[in-house]
């Protein structure tokens, strides 16, 4: 027989993939500790002559492509190294507590927090916190966590570099880092969620606050309501509003404005009046937001004169400097709100609602006195628009 070529397939391919797998399982901390560089050790092709049998190891195509991607400078994902300043402070602090057994200067930790620029920096920061926590317990007999100001700044640093998973750790009541969860730390993360309209992150933070017994604050409601409004999450708004009220949180005017504006936008009259009853029990004077929300509620109930009276109350209560804001809100009530509330209704209710608003809004405008530019406000023909 002529010479034959034997190709080792499954078992050899699997063995050559092992170095690639170990590359992904290695962590930054391991390379930092031992000073090693992860990599794939290349093997020479073996072609021994044995009874006219030629042996050849075939490289799997996927392994070859992956290897090129990992080592190519054009690879889409590049490893980010810790900042030099953070790395230097990290090493100095660890040397102080692990080798010299002395407490490092406080400003080293504060400076490290301030200089964090990426996720790898945050990893080093949390490694420092864990080691400092152990040192404080074993050597200094300090059982208290770090002060709340430092914990808040750690949370801000996590948000600043978008290491949100580490930021959530600042809300853990039981942790190895010496961090105390606080509503201030939660606000840093919630403001990030607001900026990115991230409802899932908001929900995660609220779960963490509940699980770790962090008391809610009026400022928390402001942020939560704003996220719910911007993302059109009415069910979550209602859920968290009940939680705030049940917890005894005294909501601010801004929270009531957002809550009532959302209810009026959806045409949810029942919840609108329930919220107004709660608001009026805490504060008598209306804002532009709450007053116009009530006016919209009256329009939905086919009470245009009551709506006009509400606008008059707002106009007379607020200073003259607010007159342009009142006019801008009145213009939105006429030109924007009707279409918003009609679209939120079921198909069978839309035409009836459109016809009612078409009739009642001009009546309301005619009933409002003292606003010189009301004559310029004209409602579009809602009954002829595609709804």
Contacts 24+ apart (CB under 8 A), 239-246: 240/206, 241/275, 243/206, 243/216, 244/216, 244/220, 245/278
**Region label for 198, one of left (φ > 0), alpha (ψ between -120 and 50) or beta (otherwise):** beta
Q: Is the pLDDT of residue 101 over 60?
A: yes
User: Hey, which residues does 5 pair with through a beta bridge?
Assistant: 54
Average the pLDDT over 88-108 and give the result: 95
Residue 366's pLDDT is what?
Answer: 87
Tally the C-alpha atoms within 13 A of residue 168's C-alpha that lie toward its C-beta: 13
Vertex 261: Cα angle to 202 and 220 (nearest 5)? 30
Q: Is the pLDDT of residue 342 over 50?
A: yes
3-state helix, strand, coil in the chain (%, to 5): 65, 5, 30
Q: Tokens 């993939």 map to which residue?
A: 17
33: enclosing H helix or E strand: helix 28-34
Q: Over the stretch 141-158, which tens digit does the pLDDT of each residue have?
A: 889 999 999 999 999 999
What's the rounded Cα separation, in Å, for the pair 234 and 263? 8
Average the pLDDT over 342-347 and give the result: 83
The alpha-helical segments, DSSP class H, found in 283-336 are 288-300, 304-317, 323-335
Burial of 130 (0-12, 13-18, 19+ CB in 10 A): middle
Average pLDDT in the chain? 82
Q: What percent of the chain has pLDDT over 90?
A: 66
Residue 10's pLDDT is what?
Answer: 36
What's the rounded Cα separation, in Å, for the pair 134 and 137? 5
- Least confident among 30-39, 168-177, 261-270, 344-353: 30-39
Average the pLDDT over 112-116 and give the result: 98
In this prediction, residue 312 has a pLDDT band, given cuts at 50, 70 and 90, of: very high
**Higher local confidence (pLDDT), 366 or 125:** 125
Using the 8-state DSSP alphabet, how is residue 147 labeled? P
Vertex 253: Cα angle to 208 and 255 (nearest 5)? 30
Beta strands 4-8 and 49-50: pairing type? unpaired
In this prediction, residue 372 has a pLDDT band, given cuts at 50, 70 and 90, of: low
What's the rounded Cα separation, in Å, for the pair 321 and 325? 8
Output the pTM of the full model: 0.77
Residue 345's pLDDT is what?
Answer: 82
Q: Give the three-class secondary structure for 56.
A: strand
- Least confident among 78-82, 133-137, 243-247: 78-82
- The DSSP line for 73-105 is TT-SS-PPPPPHHHHHHHHHHHIIIIIS--PPP
């Amino acid at each position: 027989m002529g010479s034959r070529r034997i190709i080792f397939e499954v078992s050899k391919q699997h063995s050559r993939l092992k170095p690639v797998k170990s590359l992904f399982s290695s962590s930054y901390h391991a390379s930092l500790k031992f000073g090693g560089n992860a990599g794939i050790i290349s093997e020479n092709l073996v072609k021994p002559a044995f009874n006219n049998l030629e042996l050849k190891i075939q490289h799997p195509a996927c392994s070859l492509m992956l290897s090129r991607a990992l080592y190519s400078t054009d690879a889409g994902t590049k490893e980010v190294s810790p900042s030099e300043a953070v790395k230097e402070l990290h090493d100095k602090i660890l040397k102080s507590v692990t080798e010299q057994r002395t407490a490092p200067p406080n400003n080293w930790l504060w400076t490290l927090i301030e200089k964090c620029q990426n996720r790898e920096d945050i990893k080093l920061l949390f490694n420092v916190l864990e080691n400092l926590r152990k040192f404080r317990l074993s050597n200094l007999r300090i059982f208290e966590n770090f002060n709340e100001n430092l914990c808040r700044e750690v949370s801000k640093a996590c948000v600043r570099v978008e290491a949100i998973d580490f930021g959530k750790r600042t809300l853990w009541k039981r942790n190895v880092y010496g961090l105390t969860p606080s509503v201030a730390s939660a606000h840093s993360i919630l403001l990030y969620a607001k900026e990115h309209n991230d409802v899932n992150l908001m929900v995660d933070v609220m779960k963490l606050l509940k699980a770790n017994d962090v008391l809610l604050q009026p400022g928390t409601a402001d942020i939560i309501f704003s996220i719910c409004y911007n993302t059109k999450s009415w069910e979550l708004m209602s859920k968290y509003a009940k939680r705030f009220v049940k917890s005894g949180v005294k909501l601010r005017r801004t929270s009531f404005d957002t809550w009532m504006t959302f209810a009026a936008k959806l045409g949810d009259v029942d919840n609108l009046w329930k919220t107004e009853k709660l608001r009026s029990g805490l504060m008598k004077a209306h804002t532009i937001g709450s007053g116009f929300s009530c006016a919209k509620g009256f329009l939905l109930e086919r009470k245009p004169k009551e709506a006009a009276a509400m606008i008059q109350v707002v106009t007379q209560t607020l200073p003259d400097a607010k007159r342009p804001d009142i006019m801008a809100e009145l213009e939105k009530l006429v030109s924007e709100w009707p279409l918003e509330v009609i679209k939120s209704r079921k198909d069978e209710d839309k035409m009836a609602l459109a016809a009612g608003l078409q009739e009642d809004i001009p009546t309301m405008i005619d009933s409002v006195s003292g606003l010189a530019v009301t004559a310029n406000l004209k409602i579009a023909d809602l009954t002829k628009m595609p709804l």
